[in-house]
Amino acid sequence: VVCVGGDGMFSEVMHGLIGRMQKDSGIDQNNPKAPLVHTCTLVVGVILGSTDCICYSTVGISDPVTSALHIIIGDCQPLDVSSVHHNNTFLKYYVSLLGYGFYGDILKDSEKKRWMGPMRYDYSGFKTFLFHHYYEGTISFQPAKHTLGSPRDKDSCRTGCYICKKSEQQLAEQQKESGLKHEEDEEEWRVIKGKFLAINAVNMSCACPRSPKGLSPAAHLADGSADLILVRKCSRFDFLRYLVRHTNQDDQFDFSFVNVYRVKSFQFTSKLSEDNESNVMDIGKKRFGHFCRDHPSCCCNTANTTWNCDGETLDSSAIEVRVHCQLMKLFARGIEENGKDEAAYSQSSTEQLL
């Protein structure tokens, strides 16, 4: 299957293929614990569009000719796919970013300004940064103990990645031993409560021309895990420092208010949802709610934000997410390691100029 378009077109094709495969196999997609059937017989090729995070993270460049060549040659790169559920109801699949807070606010605001074109993302991003909203909630997750490495190491996912291959082997062994029986509920869950400026779950580095290393430089394409990035409430200046780190070579996780975990599943419930379920009324926010709405910069939010799910909005704040290892395949080879050749290439280019 070959599609010409950006991340949005790829998402539409992915949902159609995975959904049809589960339907034909009798799998209930509304069951968050259901073992999904892999689309191994189908490979998707993407020729670039307006937003190309997936191509940039799997090929290393945003170039339609390169993408077409990978399709012609027949290169194949497996991809992890995560499913998102709310109250045992299937919502979406995603392969790159699931973001709550900062990135959710940007998407929500930019949807109202489509007339601005691509510039709406810059405008909404600047506006969201100034408002500096934070959201209170509880996040619980299962660490991905089956994978090698960590989000803080320097082992980026490259062509022929050992970590991804090892995860594929472990997945096959687990299926043989357990017979697709799920024992996840018996495993350890970690719970974190707090006030967050951003909650991001990425299945890949999410690299792009503006952020060459991406949101999580060591995230892997096919290891059966996601990197969960929690940015706690902090000052605007500190948050700006964190954002700037995405554009250079510094470690963006080297802040006291930033935590990153490699997980295979997680759940999130906002404080507002918890209060509604327990019928707890916040008198202060009820009394001054009109002030908070008229002055959003006060950071006292009376409503939830939306999730940014691969560029699509999800209004359900309480969600359950699971990573499905190598659920589909893409016409790509992965990013080739060329760091060792950069010095030689630079030297040869200089000699040619001289």
Please name which of 288, 307, 310, 287 lies closest in space to residue 299, comparing C-alpha atoms: 288
pLDDT at position 230 is: 98
| Model pLDDT, residue 308 | 94
Classify the phi-psi angles of 203: left when phi > 0, otherwise alpha if psi is within -120 to 50, otherwise beta: alpha
Count of residues in the chain: 354
User: Whole-angstrom Cα distance, residue 78 to residue 303?
Assistant: 38
pLDDT of residue 177: 67
Q: What does DSSP assign to residue 52?
A: -
Class of domain 2-345: mainly beta
pTM, 2 dp: 0.84
Active-site hit among 7, 52, 105, 310: 7
Q: Is 7 a catalytic residue?
A: yes
Instruction: Return the SS3 of 6.
Output: coil
Residue 297 gets the label, from left (phi > 0), alpha (psi -120 to 50) or beta, of: alpha
Tens digit of pLDDT per residue, the chain (354 long)?
887 777 888 889 899 999 999 999 999 999 999 889 886 666 666 666 556 788 888 888 877 888 888 888 888 889 999 999 999 999 999 999 999 999 999 999 999 898 888 888 899 999 999 999 999 999 999 998 888 888 998 888 999 898 888 877 776 676 666 555 555 556 689 999 999 999 999 999 998 888 889 999 999 999 999 999 999 999 999 999 999 999 988 899 999 999 999 999 999 999 876 655 554 444 444 444 444 444 444 454 545 789 999 989 998 889 999 999 999 988 888 888 764 433 333 333 333 323
Distances (CA, A) of 349 to 88, 339, 342: 58, 16, 10
Amino acid identity of 107? L
Other beta carbons less than 10 A from residue 121's beta carbon: 16
